[in-house]
Amino acid sequence: MFTGIVTAIGELSVKKRTSDAMTIGIDSKDFDLSDVALGDSIAVSGVCLTVTSLNDCQFDADVSLETLSKTSLGKKIEGGLVNLEKAMKADSRFGGHIVTGHVDGLGEVESVEEVGDYIQFTVKVPQLLSRYFAAKGSACVDGVSLTVNTVSENNFTFMTIPHTLSMTTLGSLDRGSAVNLEIDIIARYLERLIGERFGR
């Protein structure tokens, strides 16, 4: 479980393809791995991965073909930047919203606009996911907890402050960039419960 509060930016340093997966290595001198053990979970641009090896400033993880096909990790080249967050602790501050690290689909940045000191992003979402986004609700984009500003039939907008742009990879997004999307877990369970109640 995560909160969507990114603590460091990492760099994809290794991509080794196997028959049914890919092993990736992530370097980050700013990401403290001193309290990370083998088998721990780390969110990599919103994708929950299991640490398979590590040293002082790098960890490796295996990524399945399913994850590669459903997220932006398969499109990343060596040297590409990723957002990093360790799994949350029960006694830590909860600064974002509940994030599972299970990506629901890929979005595409439609526009990036300056609005005063802020940047507004418009993201196109897959049709099957559009109903889960609500104005003033929460969304996770590339592992970053964000507040949805507006929604339409097939996209939503969010604003970012300068601090968020400097501490995450969102500042490097351009029109056409693919982003990992995770819908609010509350919306997911509400749909399930309501659907069963009304026989849907």
- Residue 30's pLDDT is what? 94
Q: How confident is the model at residue 198 (pLDDT cuts 50, 70, 90)?
A: low
Question: Which pLDDT tens digit goes with each residue over 64-112?
Answer: 988 988 999 988 888 999 999 999 887 777 788 889 999 999 999 999 9
What is the token pair recorded at 134?
Answer: 């609500």
What is the token pair recorded at 15?
Answer: 């991509």
- Residue 200's pLDDT is what? 56
Residues 85/5, Cβ–Cβ less than 8 Å = yes
| Whether the domain at 8-86 and the domain at 105-195 fall into the same CATH topology | yes
- Residue 166's pLDDT is what? 94
Place of tokens 């721990």: 40
More confident residue, 12 or 199: 12
Residues across the chain: 200
Place of tokens 């990036």: 112
Q: What is the CATH number of domain 8-86?
A: 2.40.30.20
Q: How confident is the model at residue 195 (pLDDT cuts 50, 70, 90)?
A: low
Percentage of the chain beyond pLDDT 70 is 97
Question: Which pLDDT tens digit goes with each residue over 114-129?
Answer: 999 999 999 999 999 9
Residue 199's CB is within 10 A of a number of other CB atoms, namely: 5
Question: Which pLDDT tens digit goes with each residue over 26-74?
Answer: 999 999 999 999 999 999 999 999 999 999 999 999 999 889 889 999 8
Question: Which pLDDT tens digit goes with each residue over 161-193?
Answer: 999 999 999 999 999 999 999 998 887 777 777
DSSP string, 65-120: HHHHHHSGGGGPPTT-EEEEEEPPPTTS---S--B-S---EEEEEEEEEEETTEEE
Read off the pTM: 0.91
Place of tokens 């507040």: 147
- Residue 154's pLDDT is what? 94
Residue 164's CB is within 10 A of a number of other CB atoms, namely: 18
What is the token pair recorded at 159?
Answer: 């604003």
**Which CATH architecture group holds 105-195?**
Beta Barrel (2.40)
The full set of domain ranges for the chain reads: 8-86, 105-195
> Computed over its alpha carbons, how large is the radius of gyration of the chain?
17
Residue 171's CB is within 10 A of a number of other CB atoms, namely: 15
Amino acid making up residue 37:
A
